[in-house]
Amino acid sequence: MNNKKDYDLLIVGAGIYGATAAYKAKQEGKRCLVIDIRPHLGGNIYCENVEGINVHKYGAHIFHTSNKRVWEFANGIVEFNRYTNSPIANYQGKQYNLPFNMNTFYQMWGVLTPEEARQKIDEQRQEALTRMRNDGITEPRNLEEQALLLIGKDIYETLIKGYTEKQWGRKCTDLPAFIIKRLPVRFVHDNNYFSDRYQGIPIGGYNKLIDGLLDGIETHVNTNFFEDRQHWENIADHILYTGKIDEFFDYRFGQLEWRSVRFEQETLDMPNYQGNAVMNFTDANVPYTRIIEHKHFEMFGDEVYQCPKTVISWEYSSEWHPGIEPFYTVNDERNNQLYTKYKELADQEPHVTFGGRLAEYKYYDMAPIIEKIMQF
């Protein structure tokens, strides 16, 4: 009897993890099928073209890496542009450069030299340390205490507290200290958020990257693995599963927690709304966390004005519930222990590999995903 299956590899999920794995499998001569529950390929890096602008439908994605091999691999699929991530923070109508650097310190205190800035920060850090010692505390008990020790009161209350509490839906005093173990503090005038050697956006948007990775590979969208699970589990010799790990095991131990994001999008009859791709709103009284103006990812300088309209997205953080997209893991003690239980089950599945943000319950940037798959 011939038990040969239709495919060598079934990949569940057509995001950056699944698409890169499919590309590698094809290079190795494997028969590969990619399915995705969404009506499009690309997962969270999918772009929609609106008025000639590539809109990041699931939030801003900036590719960055110091690994030359990863950068050359990605650029071998599609050429990347020169975009540099330099977000702005807006607090009560005043703007500050991010990450924290000499521009930020001048905007905050009017200091002109690195020594003045360092002295100001050290004074406020010492105040926080003294308060903790007076309370008999030797180690930060929560995010607030950790942040105050790292950066001091002014920057914490202006640029961290409100934004973080909106993002996580919890008070900073209720969040674990490890979330903010370190903060980038630069005593130079450098607004580049990342320190990686390479960064950019695919010219023409991320769909170009996904389409290049999946070129020549069979794909099915609007396809739910769980609606015909027995069929999909028997169609290939091996499965790469990039969905939620708890869902794969029918939530046997309960549901892992996530934070989600709701997007409100509008096309404006103007060429330039905020002058920057990413604007964080750090005031707790502003309900959204940030506004993305998508054209700035691919249009620079006066080029912005050659496109008469612009598209902006407001981002609202929320608790996850079934029926909406899970975005950020909640890696507290309860969820980490729960994931460990599911991981033990996953390790007992010899014909299934669990990979990516949802399956590994881990936040991933794009470049480390590609790097990981290249090492398989």
Active-site residue list? 182, 186, 259, 290, 315, 363, 365
Structure tokens given for 161: 């507290």
Residue 286's φ and ψ, nearest 5 degrees, are -90, 125
Contact predicate 12/241, CB 8 Å: yes
Beta-carbon contacts of residue 8 (< 8 Å; ≥ 6 apart): 25, 30, 31, 32, 236, 237, 238
Count the Cβ atoms, other than its own, within 10 Å of residue 352: 17
Which alpha helices (DSSP H) does 48-205 contain, by range?
A: 68-77, 102-109, 114-134, 143-151, 153-155, 161-168
Specify whether the CB–CB gap between 240 and 372 falls below 8 A. no
Picking from 104, 90, 86, 265, the residue whose alpha carbon sits closest to that of residue 162 is 90
Structure tokens at 228: 């015909």
Place of tokens 């890096």: 45
Residue 317 per-residue DSSP state: E
